[in-house]
Amino acid sequence: MKKYIKLINVTVLILASIIYLGTKSFVFTNSKEPADADSSFYTVSRVIDGDTIVLSDGRKVRLTGIDTPEVYYSEKLLKDSKKSGQDIKTIQGLGRRASAFTKELCLGKKVRLEYDVDRHDRYKRTLAYVYLEDGTFVNQKIVQEGFAQVMTVVPNVKYADLFLKSQKEAREANRGLWKT
């Protein structure tokens, strides 16, 4: 009986995801700007780590769809260390490299935000895709240069395929953290 209930729950979840993603593709707009984009520009006042920035209005923004190595000691750092087999200091060193890349790319520059389904994470940070004034897609650039891995959290999957392609290219080219 328990197996039957689990099977029903999984089936319902899969069907709900398919229906949700299917309805998203039928939403059209006449604007060149995506309906879920913020057309305002904000200055990046601080880079916390490779995938988290702070805007001049004080908002912490977690870059959606990507994950960089941890810089600060945390439970996640311990988990990452056990999972990868790397020691904590190595992961923190990689995290500092990713953070430095994001800082060079964004600090003091104006950015605009684009949202996916969820606008905030459990830590109350804004979840967003970030673009520089010149149109550079920050989330993708960090993955493309090898300083982040793809981290897709459903339902925020808008650019998952693009990020996976960029990650594969970075790994094959031994860029950033993928250097041998």
Give pLDDT, residue 71: 79
pLDDT at 18 over 60: no
R_g of the chain, CA atoms, integer Å: 18
Q: Is 152 exposed, middle or buried (0-12, 13-18, 19+ CB in 10 A)?
A: middle
**Mean pLDDT of the residues in the chain:** 83
Give pLDDT, residue 24: 42
Largest CA distance in the chain: 58
* Bigger pLDDT: 160 vs 23: 160
Give pLDDT, residue 52: 97
Q: What is the average pLDDT across 158-179?
A: 96
Mean pLDDT check: name the lowest of 93-97, 103-107, 126-130: 93-97
On whether the CB atoms of residues 112 and 38 are closer than 8 A, the answer is yes
pTM to 2 decimal places: 0.75
pLDDT at 88 over 80: no
Instruction: Tell me which residues are annotated as active site.
Output: 62, 70, 125
Residue with tokens 């994001």: 102
Residue with tokens 């520089």: 132
Give pLDDT, residue 174: 95
* Bigger pLDDT: 142 vs 82: 142
Q: Which domains are assigned to the chain?
A: 30-178 (2.40.50.90)
Give pLDDT, residue 28: 32
pLDDT at 82 over 90: no
On whether the CB atoms of residues 115 and 38 are closer than 8 A, the answer is yes
* Bigger pLDDT: 82 vs 167: 167
